[in-house]
Structure 1
Amino acid sequence: MKFTIRAALSVMLALAPAGVQAQSADQAGDKTVAVAADDPEMTAAIEQARATLDDFLALSAAPPPGTDRFKLKVKIVDGDATEHFWVIPFKRTATGFAGILANEPELVRNVAFGQYIEFSRDDISDWGYTRNGHQVGSYTVCVMLKKMSAQDADDLRSNYGFDC
């Protein structure tokens, strides 16, 4: 079984200046990075994100100066298809979390770009934010960078502040 993690558009959308309208995957030349469900690096990245989620949530509730673009990545399942999407913005609810789906689905059909979704803590596969122009978190993106072409990975690193 494979699952897909949104790559370039996920990163660009999460980092876009406030007020910028999101583009669909086709408009942005988005690429999808397919990763085996049992990929050890991706599994470790998701575990790291989940292990540090409470610290991230506390920080996002009271962002210090120089931080912005707080986001969560969530797993969406539709039958046998699984895809992971950034949710920007997000908020806590009485039963979990909710926010706006920031990517155009490619595999799953039960959600749509821009849709308000509700999800649980168990659905969260990553988190991230920007601190003084550099990415913090986004552990799954760091794994995806290794699986992209060198040019695509270098572009994301230089344009969006990834240090991994």
Structure 2
Amino acid sequence: MKSVIRTVLCLMLALAPGLAGAQATDSSDDKTVMFATDDPEMAVATAKALASLDEFLALAEAPPSGTDRFKLKVKVRDGNVTEHFWVIPFRRTETGFVGILANQPAEVHNVVLGQDIKFDRDDISDWGYTLDGRQVGSFTVCVMFKRMSKEEVDTMRDEYGFDC
């Protein structure tokens, strides 16, 4: 059976101001979009994010004026199921990274919304931040737009500053 990755996009916690994990959320705010593990568009988006990851991490360590909401998308495995989540905020550790899971899990059961999770570089699939209210990065979100309704995409563009 073909393995499936569930990529989770959370409209409220991953994009709205404030600390993720410190806010209550209604799970109806989360959008789950399914992709096959070998989806070519998602693979290109992930490769683009990973190719520029070092520059993003350097920027996140010394954020310039007008930037905020630095986030990483990481994969979490639970048996044969993999789900991707935004982690906001995050920080480097001696052995990798730690941060707060900013999405409600849909398929994996070994993590919960608001939990501190540890992960390493190999778990990262995307990154993003805002610059003067506009999204930078978040390459996988632009791929997800192709599977979302026009209304959802328009809302994301209008309210959260996506240009894709």
Q: What TM-score, normalized to structure 2?
A: 0.93
1:75-134 C-alpha deviation (Å, 9 max, x unpaired): 001111110000011000000000111111110011111111100000000000000110
Counterpart AA for 1:14: A
What is the deviation of 1:22? 4.0
Stretches of structure 1 lacking an aligned partner (at least 5 in a row) = none
Counterpart AA for 2:154: D
**Which runs of structure 1 show a deviation greater than 6 angstroms over 4 or more consecutive aligned residues?**
none
SS in 2 for 1:14: coil
SS in 1 for 2:98: strand
Structure 2 matches for 1:1-164, cutoff 5 A? 1-7=3-9, 9=10, 11-18=11-18, 21-26=23-28, 28=29, 30-164=30-164
Aligned equivalents of 1:114, 1:161: Cα separation in 2: 24
Work out the percentage of aligned pairs sharing the same amino acid.
62
What is the deviation of 1:14? 2.1
User: How many residues get paired?
Assistant: 160
What is the deviation of 1:24? 3.9
Counterpart AA for 1:88: I
SS in 1 for 2:142: helix
1:126–1:139 CA contact under 8 A, matched in 2: yes
Aligned equivalents of 1:60, 1:47: Cα separation in 2: 19
Aligned equivalents of 1:116, 1:135: Cα separation in 2: 24
What is the deviation of 1:15? 2.1
Aligned equivalents of 2:24, 2:154: Cα separation in 1: 22
Stretches of structure 2 lacking an aligned partner (at least 5 in a row) = none
Counterpart AA for 2:6: T
Q: CA RMSD in A?
A: 1.2
SS in 2 for 1:44: helix
> Which structure is higher in helix share?
1
SS in 2 for 1:153: helix
